[in-house]
Each structure stands twice: as C-alpha cells, then as structure tokens.
Amino acid sequence: MTRLATAVALALAAQVPAFAADPQPNMSPEARPVPYDPRGFAPDPSYADKPYDIGEQLRIYGGKSQVPNPRPMLELGRPMYQSGPLQPSGTGFGSKNPTAQAFSIYGDWRTGVARNNNGAGPTNVLATRLNLDMDWKLTATERVHAFLRPLDHNTEFTRCERGPGFE
C-alpha cells in the first residue's frame, strides 16, 4: 500500500512543474498540435424564411404519437415512469441514503384456448394464469419484491379440459 501511495505522490509531483513551466499541453511524442483554422467554425443556419410547421414535424415520425405509459393496478407513493419534478425524498435512513417510498402491484393475466386431438379424440382446453408483482421501494436501491401466481396449483395453470371422457 505504501509503494502505491509513494508512486502516486511522485507522479503527481512530477506533473506540477511541467504544467507550471510549459504552456504547451503534455502530449506523447507521436502527437502533433493541429493549427487553428477559423474556417472550421461558422454561425448556426438561419431558419427565419422557413416557418415552423407542426404537421411537417410529425410527418417525420410517420404520424406516430406519444403512447401513454401503462400504469400499475395499484400505485402508492412516488409513481413510476412519470415526467416532471419529483417530490423531495425523505431521510428515514439518514441524509446519505434518501428514501422515496413507493408501493405498486402490477402484472398480467394470460388466458389460452385450444382444441387438441392427440389420436384418442378431441380435447378442448381453457387455461388461465395471473402473475402479480408486488414491489415496495424503500430507497433508490433497496426494495422488497414479491411475485405471486394465485390461480396456479402446484405450478400448473388453472384450466378446464373437456375431452372424450368428460361427463
């Protein structure tokens, strides 16, 4: 550790006189300064003769428009993916670890319908699954997260099958 500290101190000490004595930048021997050419810079173009047309600007993007952000089913505290100024964070864990608590529940519900024939006769199937994510955000990096699938049974989708043996 002391060797590293000594090496850093010597390297810094060697740089100070070089900057103080020489106005030229410290460059490798292979590098050469490029002469200044004022023609490389010009004023910004003027668009005074071209009036702004909102329709033409939207046409650039193929007529696309902003899509609203999807919102969680339940959202308490600081919202996700919103624009604008944020409310000041709390200091529940100290001033060096600001809190911005938020709790949200989001997820998806999947349903599928199928008619299968595996050679023993047709089978009709209706299956569904509900995925729920619960997220309690305490700080920018600490959170408690839970994932539930309340309609599943032993990792199987909830389903109804009607086949040849169905009565």
Residues of the chain whose pLDDT is less than 70? Answer: 1, 4-22, 165-167
- What are the phi and psi torsion angles at 9 (to 5°)? -65, -40
The 10s digit of each residue's pLDDT in 35-66 is 889 888 999 988 889 888 888 888 888 877 77
pLDDT number for residue 20: 52
pLDDT number for residue 143: 92
Q: Rounded to whole angstroms, what are the CA distances from 160 to 99, 165, 167? A: 46, 13, 13
Q: Rounded to whole angstroms, what are the CA distances from 87 to 60, 90, 93, 98, 100? A: 35, 9, 17, 12, 9
pLDDT number for residue 18: 47
DSSP-derived letter for residue 90 is B
pLDDT number for residue 115: 92
Give the whole-angstrom CA distance, residue 122 versus residue 127: 16
Counting beta carbons within 10 angstroms of the beta carbon of residue 57, is it exposed (0 to 12), middle (13 to 18) or buried (19 or more)? exposed
pLDDT number for residue 100: 87
